[in-house]
Chain A
Amino acid sequence: MATDPLLNLSGPAKPLKAEPPDAAESAGLLRTGRARLHDAANPALSLESRFDLAYNAAHALCLAALRRNGYRPSQRYIVFQVLPHTLGLGPEVWRVLDKCHNTRNLGEYEGLLDIDERLVASLIDAARLVDDALRRHGAD
């Protein structure tokens, strides 16, 4: 039997902990993620706000996917890196989100939010693909 990559990543001093799924929590994450993803496409907002909304939408949706699999992260970045295991998504999604996570950290902690239209468009596309995959996995 193949080893479970999520199980291998869980335990003390590892980035995941096993915790049974919680329907109310998942519903809340899906609701907030989808609301922010919708607003991220609003061209009246500044590019910085759209980036924040899309990044936080992606994080909430990826976290929902991980929680539905029965794990809780102890690091923010891990929810993006495990997308191949939680939703079967490839580098065209998770690498984009991982890059945006690093971009977000440079902005939040070092005041260097270096973003442009293309990065925000790629981020929104990736978050939408996460949402599509969640729906395919039965998260309405």
Chain B
Amino acid sequence: MTSTADALFPAVRQRVLAVLFGAPDRSFYANELIALARSGTGAVQRELASLLAAGLVTVRDQGNQKHYQANAASPVFAELRGLVLKTVGLADVLQAALAPLADQVAAAFVYGSVARQQDTAGSDVDVLIVSDALGYAEVFSALEGAAQTLGRTINPTLYTRAELARRRAQDNAFVTRVLAQPRIWLMGDEEVLRGD
């Protein structure tokens, strides 16, 4: 199966967009970006040139380094950031990390500041996982590589289906707040949240 990101963007552009639009409130100098994008210098420089020309990225000189940053003033900034978060910049990384546990996960999604696109580079990635069997040790082990790749702390919260239903019935403040907010789905769908 072709992934959404593969259908839309060539590999190097995906990685460059993932770095820049994954943390749009900070800038990256060229060598840092090349290392984070795990791609060749020439390939990354070509992507940067076209992203700059299109106004999707800005550049400024800092000392003798050029610093690149996602352009929040671009008319498609929010849409492109949303696309990156739902694919190569976040969701794909988390899905791959959770894949070995998939048969024990009824549903998993990102909520909180990242899903609302109100995050800063220091924000945790909040992930709610509905699972009847998993413990925190297994989940943190599985997510560690993703935390390194994304350069962010991942904060999972685990609920069993029964617990989630109980908390919804009791109008639990946390669950009510989470369910009222935007979500980026990783596994499963809304069905699990309706419970019953």
Using a CB–CB distance below 8 Å, which chain A residues touch chain B?
90-93, 95-96, 99, 102, 112, 114, 116, 118-119, 121-122, 125-126
Q: B143 — which chain A residues lie within 8 A by C-beta?
A: 91, 95
The reply to whether A119 and B136 contact each other, CB–CB distance below 8 Å, is yes
Residue of A nearest to B141 (CB): A92
* Nearest CB on A from B100, distance (A): 14
Given the interface pairs A99-B155, A116-B163, the reply to whether A125 lies near B135 with Cβ below 8 Å is: yes
Q: B160 — which chain A residues lie within 8 A by C-beta?
A: 118
* Nearest CB on A from B56, distance (A): 35
Residue of B nearest to A91 (CB): B144
* Nearest CB on A from B149, distance (A): 14
Size class of the B contact interface (CB-based, 8 Å): 10 to 19
The reply to whether A99 and B136 contact each other, CB–CB distance below 8 Å, is yes
The reply to whether A92 and B138 contact each other, CB–CB distance below 8 Å, is yes
Q: A114 — which chain B residues lie within 8 A by C-beta?
A: 174
Which residue of B136, B159, B173, B174 contacts A96 across the interface (Cβ within 8 Å)? Answer: B136
Summed over the interface, the residue pairs from A and B with CB atoms below 8 Å come to a total of: 43
Which secondary structure characterizes the binding site on chain A? Answer: helix
Question: In the bound complex, how far is the Cα of B174 from the Cα of A109, in angstroms?
Answer: 17
Residue of B nearest to A116 (CB): B163
The 0/1 profile, CB within 8 Å of A marked 1, for residues 143-166 of chain B is 110010000000110111001000
The 0/1 profile, CB within 8 Å of A marked 1, for residues 24-58 of chain B is 00000000000000000000000000000000000
Question: In the bound complex, how far is the Cα of B173 from the Cα of A128, in angstroms?
Answer: 32
Q: List 9 A-B contacts (CB under 8 A).
A: A92-B141, A95-B140, A95-B144, A96-B136, A116-B163, A118-B136, A118-B158, A121-B135, A122-B135
Q: Does B169 have its Cβ within 8 Å of any Cβ on chain A?
A: no
Q: Does B137 have its Cβ within 8 Å of any Cβ on chain A?
A: yes
* Nearest CB on A from B192, distance (A): 17
Question: In the bound complex, how far is the Cα of B163 from the Cα of A118, in angstroms?
Answer: 11
Question: In the bound complex, how far is the Cα of B163 from the Cα of A51, in angstroms?
Answer: 18
* Nearest CB on B from A95, distance (A): 4
Question: In the bound complex, how far is the Cα of B148 from the Cα of A95, in angstroms?
Answer: 13
* Nearest CB on A from B54, distance (A): 39
Q: B136 — which chain A residues lie within 8 A by C-beta?
A: 95-96, 99, 118-119, 122, 126
Question: In the bound complex, how far is the Cα of B138 from the Cα of A93, in angstroms?
Answer: 10
Question: In the bound complex, how far is the Cα of B191 from the Cα of A11, in angstroms?
Answer: 52
